[in-house]
Each structure stands twice: as structure tokens, then as C-alpha cells.
């Protein structure tokens, strides 16, 4: 893997974070493959953040790459006699409590100019167990009506279930957007259960 150039990549850290990290001994280490579709951040928010991404809509390929890469990372950690912190009830133990469980956030950038202005947008997201962020990450505004739509939960569902929830949810949002473009009504879906029964 090549070392990540944080000065030229907007997909890593903000200017403030880069300035802070460059002045400390705890600067995060970033690695990525040549295509920049698989990245590992070490010592950012969590000890290790594994990222798989690409343009287009092939979530299956992105998820498969994530799983392969995570298995390799886990294997390397186990070779050294270590393991990720894991609890039978809570799943993976991460720095931020909101990431307990799978720790998986599957996100899709999608442009929703009509739906994002509809007063039902937030309720639709809530009922689909989805959240919206700006394309620059947490606490950023949407750019040109494009949002990063991702799973709200990390706990109570498997990684596969969470990715499928995002795929189904984004498909529903796109369908709503198409209906609004045609001046047709949309419906707020029934709430999805947060945890498995």
C-alpha cells in the first residue's frame, strides 16, 4: 500500500486536523491501495478505521473489498497476538459509543434536490433508520443537494443487514425524488425496527 498524502486528499482530514496532527507525535498514519478505493486510517478517531469506497453504484463490490481488506487487517493483528476488542452483547468496542456493534457505516452520496426540501425528508430518513451528512463528513453541509446517506445504527444488525438497509433505503429515496420531479405524491414508509426480533 502507498502512503497517503494528506495534503492533497480531501478524503482524509480537515485543514485544522492536518495542522494539529502535523504538530504532534500522535499523527495518524494513512495507507491506501493504488486505486485509492481501500484505505486504512490508524489513530484517527478510532485506533483503526477501514474504508472501502468507489464512484458508481456497485455497493456489492465495495462491501466485498471491505470484507477482504478487513480480514487481512485482522489476520495481521492476530499474527502479532492481538485482537480487536469484542463483547458478546455489544459487538466491537470502539472509541465512540455510537459505533458499538458492527462499527460499520455504509454511505452513499446521492443528489436529492426535491426530496431534501420536502418537510417529510427527515421523517423518511428516521423511519428507514438512515442518517444524512454532507459529503465532507460528519457536521458538514450538503453540497449542491448531494448528501451522504448512511445507516443510523451499528448495533443490533449484521454488517450484511446494514448494507442492505442502506441499499434499500437509498433506492426508496431515489424513487421519492423521481416522483417529486413528476409532481407526484410520496409516502413516509412505516418505521423499520431498530433491532432484530
Q: Encode pLDDT of 80-108 as tens digits.
A: 999 989 999 999 998 888 888 999 999 99
**pLDDT for 124 beyond 50:** yes
Q: What percent of the chain has pLDDT over 90?
A: 62
How much is the pTM? Answer: 0.81
| Mean pLDDT estimate for the chain | 85
**pLDDT for 117 beyond 90:** yes
Torsion angle, alpha carbons of 130, 133, 135, 138, to 10 = -120
Q: CATH 3.30.590.10 occupies which residues in the chain? A: 1-84
Dihedral pair phi/psi, residue 54, rounded to 5°: -170, 160
- List pLDDT tens digits, range 5-53: 333 334 555 555 555 455 444 555 778 889 999 999 888 777 788 899 9
Compare 2 and 22 and report the one with higher pLDDT: 22
Average of per-residue pLDDT across 155-162:
94
Cell of 4: 497517503
Average of per-residue pLDDT across 159-168:
96
Q: Are strands 107-111 and 146-151 parallel, antiparallel or unpaired?
A: antiparallel
Please state the residue numbers annotated as binding site. 49, 105-109, 133-138
**pLDDT for 78 beyond 70:** yes
pLDDT value for 9? 39
pLDDT value for 145? 93
Q: Which residue has the cell 426540501?
A: 117
From the candidate CATH numbers 3.30.950.10, 1.10.490.10, 3.30.590.10, 1.20.1290.10, the one assigned to the domain spanning 1-84: 3.30.590.10
Please state the residue numbers annotated as binding site for ATP. 49, 105-109, 133-138
Judged on CB neighbours under 10 Å (0-12, 13-18, 19+), 37 is middle
Average of per-residue pLDDT across 170-175:
98
Compare 136 and 29 and report the one with higher pLDDT: 136
State the number of CA atoms in the 13 A half-sphere of 49 facing the CB: 18
Q: What percent of the chain has pLDDT over 70?
A: 84
Question: What crossing angle do the helices spanning 59-79 and 159-181 adopt, rounded to 10°?
Answer: 160
Amino acid at each position: 500500500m502507498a502512503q497517503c498524502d494528506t495534503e492533497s486528499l480531501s478524503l482524509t482530514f480537515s485543514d485544522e486536523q492536518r495542522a494539529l496532527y502535523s504538530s504532534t507525535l500522535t499523527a495518524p498514519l494513512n495507507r491506501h491501495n493504488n486505486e485509492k478505493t481501500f484505505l486504512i486510517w490508524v489513530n484517527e478517531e478510532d485506533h483503526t478505521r477501514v474504508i472501502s469506497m468507489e464512484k458508481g453504484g456497485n455497493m456489492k463490490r465495495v462491501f466485498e473489498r471491505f470484507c477482504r481488506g478487513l480480514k487481512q487487517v485482522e489476520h495481521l493483528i492476530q499474527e502479532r497476538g492481538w485482537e480487536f476488542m469484542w463483547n458478546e452483547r455489544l459487538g466491537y468496542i470502539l472509541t465512540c459509543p455510537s459505533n458499538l456493534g458492527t462499527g460499520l457505516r455504509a454511505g452513499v452520496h446521492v443528489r436529492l434536490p426535491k426530496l431534501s426540501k420536502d418537510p417529510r425528508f427527515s421523517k423518511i430518513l428516521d423511519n428507514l433508520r438512515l442518517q444524512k451528512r454532507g459529503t465532507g463528513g460528519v457536521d458538514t453541509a450538503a453540497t449542491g443537494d448531494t448528501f451522504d446517506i448512511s445507516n443510523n445504527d451499528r448495533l443490533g444488525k449484521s454488517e450484511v443487514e446494514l448494507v442492505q438497509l442502506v441499499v434499500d433505503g437509498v433506492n426508496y429515496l431515489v424513487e421519492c425524488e423521481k416522483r417529486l420531479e413528476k409532481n407526484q405524491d410520496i409516502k413516509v414508509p412505516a418505521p423499520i425496527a431498530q433491532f432484530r426480533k
